[in-house]
Structure formats: C-alpha cells, structure tokens
Structure 1
Amino acid sequence: MTKTYKRLLSSVTCIFILILCLISTAFADAEHDAEEALRHAVNEISYTLKNASLQNVNEDSAVIADLEKMILNIFSMEEFSMRTVGRKWHSFTPTQKAKFKDAFIELLKVTYFKHVREYDGQNLAILGSRSNKGGTKVEVRTSVNYKNEDVPVNYRMLDENGKWMVYDVLVEGVSLVKNYRIQFKELLRKGTPEELIAKLQEKAQRVRQQQATVDTK
C-alpha cells in the first residue's frame, strides 16, 4: 500500500466518520426536539386537567374547548386523516378532505373526551425515543400509570414545517391509525368518500346520544 493511497484512505475514512457523527447528532436533535414537543403538550394538558372541575364537564364545557385546541396543536390531523384513509385519500377532493377531517375530529372528540372525567392525576413518563434513518420521523416511548398499572403508549411524530407533530398513537402496541384504517377500508371498498363522511357523522351523533342517556341516569 503506497503512502498516497494510505493518505487518501485516511482522508476518506475521516470524512466518512465525520458524516456519521453529523448524522448521529441530527438524529439526537430530532429525538430530543420531538420529546420536548410532546412533553410540553402533555404538561399543558395535565395542568389544564388538574386545575379544572371535571365532575360536571360536558362536550360544551370551556375546558373541553381548551383541551381540543391543545390536542390539535400537537396532533397532525392532515397526516392522521391521510393515514387512516390510506391510498384512497388521494382520490378525495379538497372539499372532501376538509369535511372528512372535521367529521373525524368530531368522532374522536365524542369518543375519547367522555373519559376526561376519569382523569385522576395520571402521569406520563417519557422513556426514550428512536428515529428513522433520515431523522424525519421519531417514535417517542412513554408509559402511563393507569389503575396501578404502567401502560406503554408510544407516539409517532414527524417534522411538519419545523414543528414536531403526532401522527399515530400506539397503546400496548396497537396502532390507532391502523385500527381506524381497517374500518375505513371496508367502508370505502363498498362506498364513496361522501358516504364515509356521512357514516362518521352518524357515528359521532350516536355516541353523543348514548353519552347523553348515561348522563341523565
């Protein structure tokens, strides 16, 4: 091996190592930034819940409106909607996409916000995260203590215009996006985007009526 070849090899090796270091740093920054974005959102939501009177809270309560804004500030409903619909999303018109997102948000709101009253100071612990090869997506691992059990909840996040946003949630390994996509795939196989939107609206209304019946008992 000639001296020239050795010097060239050393230079290439140094550059390669430098690139690896830079990539590693980028991944670390992405993971840190995603964790911080999630931590800030969780702290904000927890503070609101702890300082609210949840006994008589309902869908029209001011605290629900505040929580909705906070959640939509950390959740990318564009990405969430696109992934739940799957390939058919590209066949939706801009109007249909907007109507679907509104209907989907309404369904999620009435489905999950009814559990707000169950909040009892549960804490979310961030356990770490991992990024994809490009550092554009991060999965943040967390644990929530619920009824004396630590439940694993992972948040999949992406960089959306310089802001880390959640696009999927995995509870004990079960993907929220995948769960809805299975349901929507069957509906779209037989129907149209407008029919899917109508079914979401109908389902949200049924859940709302069921909850109203429970509240009056």
Structure 2
Amino acid sequence: MMIFKLFFALLFIFTFISDISYAYADTPTQQVRQTVDKVLDILRNKELKGPEKTKERRTVIRRAISERFDFEEMAKRSLALHWKKRTPEEKKEFVQLYADLLERSYIKRIESYTDEKILYLNEKINGEYAEVDTKIVTKRNVEIPIEYRLLKKNGKWEVYDVVIEGVSLVNNYRTQFNKIIRTDSYEELVRRMKNKQEEELFEEKAK
C-alpha cells in the first residue's frame, strides 16, 4: 500500500506545471522543470497517442525520465550496506532492474494524468547537494508535500531521492530490500524483481 501511495504521488513529480519562473537554467528547480516540459510535450503529442503507440510513447518517456533520475545512486542508497558486497556485474544488473521498476510504475500512472498543479516553494543548495520543496494541489484541494533531493554531477542536477509526505522513497525501498535479503537472500530479491519485470512485460504485450 505504501509503495502504491509513493508512486501515485511520484506520478505528479515530473508532470505538472509550476507557478514560478526561474532566471537561470542551471538551478535545481529549473532543471527539474525542463524535464517536466519534455514529459508534457510527449503526453500532448498527437502522433504518440493511442494504444498502438504505447510502446513508442513509453520509450520516449523513459528516455526523458532517465535524464533526470540518477538510478545508480538511488539503487546504491536503497541497497545500502548490501551494495558493497555485490560484484560489478551484480551492481550493473541491479541498477537496471531498479530503474525498470521505477520507470514502469511511473509511466503507468503518468499516462492518465489530469490537471493538478505542482507549486515550487523553496530551494536549498549545499555544495553538490540540493533540496527542492514542492507541494501538489489536487482538484479536491488536497495538498501533498514533496521534496526532491538532488546531487550535482558534471554540471547537471540529478534526483537521487524523493520524500513524499515525509516518507523517503529510497528509505522505503531500503527497508523492504533489507528485509528480503536478511530473511532470504540477495538472490531472492533479484528473483522477485525479475518476476515483476516479466509480469509487466507480459501485461504490455497483452494490450
């Protein structure tokens, strides 16, 4: 239930227009907004609408999302102490599975977006790290606070965690992953992630 709630809120993170303009394109907030605009353009593109365009549309959305999310950093933080124990091959495989998990969940919800708004409230920068505080306002005037946590790499601000209503996406996954690894094994965690991936692929092909 918590994962569904997190992803439901994550849907809005890169989908709706801010009420505030920023003067410099290199600020964390402005770089996030650039991704917002890309996703909105994709969703509005008439040539990418319709069931027959699902695969093509989702491929383009995934590309836009990948430009802003640092999936390797998110995967490393979610796996925590278990990350160091992994071989280079295992790390590469895990990052791919982790990214696929987030992207598929995000895309399934983003395709049915409506006209909610996201308000950018505050931005804090501390060296290579930044936080952007936002608030989602739904049609029913329900407010959902969302905090982006970003890390600057090669001049680009990349999201490495999202805190939704006080709940960290990375911490939430870390708790789940750690429980599975300690109760069963790392191999069992990977098996479950692969099964989830196969289920999603099967659903997409069935459409």
- The list of structure 1 runs, each at least 4 consecutive aligned residues, that deviate by more than 4 angstroms after superposition, is 52-55, 207-213
Q: Is the 8 A contact 1:138 1:156 kept in 2?
A: yes
Give the structure-2-normalised TM-score. 0.76
CA distance in 2, matches of 1:178, 1:150: 22
Deviation, 1:199, is 1.3
Deviation, 1:143, is 2.1
- Residue 48 of structure 1 aligns to which amino acid in structure 2? I
Q: Is the 8 A contact 1:122 1:146 kept in 2?
A: yes
Question: Aligned residue for 1:93?
Answer: 87
CA distance in 2, matches of 1:69, 1:78: 15
- Structure 2 gap segments, 5+ residues each: 1-23
CA distance in 2, matches of 1:144, 1:113: 18
- Residue 143 of structure 1 aligns to which amino acid in structure 2? K
Q: Kindly indicate whether residue 107 of structure 2 is the aligned counterpart of residue 119 of structure 1.
A: no
Q: Secondary structure at the match of 1:101?
A: helix
Question: Aligned residue for 1:188?
Answer: 181
Residue number among 70, 73, 76 corresponding to 1:79 in the alignment: 73
Residue number among 45, 52, 56 corresponding to 1:51 in the alignment: 45
What pairs with 1:148-163 in structure 2 (closer than 5 Å)? 148=140, 149-163=142-156
CA distance in 1, matches of 2:184, 2:63: 32
Q: Secondary structure at the match of 1:91?
A: coil
Q: Is the 8 A contact 1:96 1:194 kept in 2?
A: no
Question: Aligned residue for 2:198?
Answer: 205
CA distance in 2, matches of 1:75, 1:51: 23
Q: Is the 8 A contact 2:123 2:132 kept in 1?
A: yes
Query: Paired residues, what number?
Result: 181
Which has more radius of gyration? 1
- Residue 85 of structure 2 aligns to which amino acid in structure 1? S
Q: Is the 8 A contact 1:49 1:119 kept in 2?
A: no
Deviation, 1:171, is 1.6
Question: Aligned residue for 2:58?
Answer: 64
Q: Is the 8 A contact 1:92 1:193 kept in 2?
A: no
Q: Is the 8 A contact 2:28 2:130 kept in 1?
A: yes
RMSD, matched Cα: 2.5
What pairs with 1:103-142 in structure 2 (closer than 5 Å)? 103-132=97-126, 135-142=127-134
Aligned identity (percent) is 30
What pairs with 1:8-27 in structure 2 (closer than 5 Å)? none
CA distance in 1, matches of 2:103, 2:69: 13
Deviation, 1:167, is 0.3
Q: Secondary structure at the match of 2:51?
A: coil
Question: Aligned residue for 2:135?
Answer: 143
Deviation, 1:136, is 1.8
- Structure 1 gap segments, 5+ residues each: 1-29
Which has the larger share of helix? 1
